[in-house]
Chain A
Amino acid sequence: MYVCVCRGISDNHVKEAVNDGAQTPKCVFRSCGKKPKCGKCISHLSDHIEAHAGARISPMGVAAE
């Protein structure tokens, strides 16, 4: 689904950005080559980043350290 409707950023884009090292909504926008517009998606972007970063780190056991 689309996380940012203004810029057409989907949850897959967020995953890719997180895999490339993005840790904040600002980094995700930069990674997609776009700028934030209305700002309504920021909290949802943070949730997606957190969820995906958690999923990425946990299997390797890094999160516990």
Chain B
Amino acid sequence: MQGQDSVLDHLNIVLKNELTCINQSFLHARMLDNWGIGRFGKKAYKRSIRAMKDADEVMERILFLEGLPGMQELGKLWIGENVKEILDCEMKLELHSLKDLNAAVVECETQRDFVSRDELTEIIENHEEYVDWIEAQLYQVEKMGIENYTQLMAGEGED
């Protein structure tokens, strides 16, 4: 089924952000594991896998609408050098992705592509959930200090 060009453009922007998120979160996950901060590492790992599943959904939708998923382009990776910076960098990318996702939903509404809109809304839920988690972590860092927070996140991550 032929999709609107403007919708396909927005879907490709969302796909680019998801691909960026896969790589950024995965690198953060492995860096955190390497530092022995496994609980945070596990969360970043799960975020990366979630982003891959979201990217898969977007790709399938683009192909269904007879477009070509742009797998070549990747956004700027925001990589932190310590736990606090990693939280900040993850937040930065999430907020950037959410902005593009919201714009994509508006375009889908305008073009009356309600199925794409519903898929994007689900992806927004995943992003908002992670943003909420990061906000909670930043609150904890502020209240207990980065040393205590790092100790809290140390060890093996939960499955």
Say whether A associates with B: yes
CB within 8 Å of B: which residues of A?
Answer: 1-2, 5, 10, 40-41, 44
Contact present for B81 and A1 (CB under 8 Å): yes
- Minimum CB–CB distance for A49 against chain B, Å: 16
Kindly state whether residue B143 has any CB partner on chain A within 8 Å: no
Contacts A1-B79, A2-B79, A2-B80 aside, 4 further interface pairs with beta carbons under 8 A come to A1-B80, A1-B85, A40-B76, A44-B76
Kindly state whether residue B77 has any CB partner on chain A within 8 Å: yes
Q: Give the top 6 A-B pairs by smallest Cβ distance, nearest first.
A: A2-B79, A1-B85, A5-B77, A1-B80, A40-B76, A5-B79
Contacts of A5 in B (CB 8 A): 77, 79
Q: How far is the CA of A47 from the CA of B81 in the complex (A)?
A: 19
Kindly state whether residue B78 has any CB partner on chain A within 8 Å: yes
Please indicate which of the listed interface residues A1, A10, A44 has the most CB atoms of chain B within 10 Å of its own CB. A1
Contacts of A10 in B (CB 8 A): 81
Q: How far is the CA of A5 from the CA of B76 in the complex (A)?
A: 9
- Minimum CB–CB distance for A11 against chain B, Å: 8
